Amino acid sequence: MKVGVLALQGDVPEHLRALGSTVAGGNLKPVRTSADLAALDALFLPGGESTTIARLMREGGLWHPLALRLEQGFPVLATCAGLILLARELAPGPSGRDPPTFGVLDVRVRRNDYGAQRESFEAPVRIEGMRGAPFPGVFIRAPRILEIGNAAEPFAWRGDEVVGVRQGSLWGTTFHPELSDDLRLHRLFLATLRRAR
């Protein structure tokens, strides 16, 4: 399976490092062009700044090719800013201008919804299908999932709050699995895809 990490802005090296132990070097690629994208079986959308990532995707001609692949059911694990870019709808929030989104993941989210006081925190996250200790959730200027439509389902919780949703092979989290040393979520996503193939 060929796996890519969108490498325009954000925590790209961290995703590549997390995947490095699971995916053979030749099958793991930073994605900067539509040609990079075409060769892939799955993509990781990193955390970072969603407005910047959206702008760079448009400028680099990646927006439309990715939109097309998403329509065809392209598997994606999207974290934080990545989740924002997939969301069906963004609720107006404190951060002013919102980016355009692909609108494929049936959730309504609000950017930076945990407020200035708590811009960053770590909290245990329960993940469906994951054994062992709770997952260390790293939340940085995280979006909040306000509403989950019928097409999507929760798979990760911080207490009672949903912090991860999936819709077939589209997975999105408000936290950053790439910023912890815990590789279980990257592995669970890839193992689930392999099983489905």
- Which segment (14-22, 42-50, 56-64, 184-192) binds ligand GLN by CB under 6 A? 42-50
Is 48 one of the binding residues for ligand GLN (CB under 6 A)? yes
Instruction: Calculate the alpha carbon distances from 166 to 41, 97, 101, 155 in Å.
Output: 17, 26, 17, 7
- Which segment (44-52, 68-76, 122-130, 149-157) binds ligand GLN by CB under 6 A? 44-52
CB atoms within 10 A of CB 87: 30
Q: How many Å apart are CA 155 and CA 186, to the nearest integer?
A: 14
Q: How many Å apart are CA 87 and CA 98, to the nearest integer?
A: 12
User: Is 15 designated active site?
Assistant: no
| Cβ 131 to ligand GLN shortest distance, Å | 27
User: Is 122 designated active site?
Assistant: no
Residue 97 vs 197, nearer CB to ligand GLN: 97
| Cβ 82 to ligand GLN shortest distance, Å | 7
Q: How many Å apart are CA 42 and CA 192, to the nearest integer?
A: 12
Q: How many Å apart are CA 145 and CA 109, to the nearest integer?
A: 4
Please list every residue from 76 through 95 that binds ligand GLN, using CB under 6 A: 80-81, 84, 95
3-state class (DSSP) for residue 190: helix
Catalytic option among 14, 15, 178, 186: 178
Is 49 one of the binding residues for ligand GLN (CB under 6 A)? yes
DSSP 80-110: THHHHHHEEEE---TTSSPPP----EEEEEE
Residue 47 vs 75, nearer CB to ligand GLN: 47
Sign of CA dihedral 163, 164, 165, 170: positive
- Which segment (47-55, 59-67, 128-136, 145-153) binds ligand GLN by CB under 6 A? 47-55
**Contacting residues toward ligand GLN, per CB under 6 A:** 47-50, 80-81, 84, 95, 111-112, 140-141
**Active-site positions?**
80, 176, 178
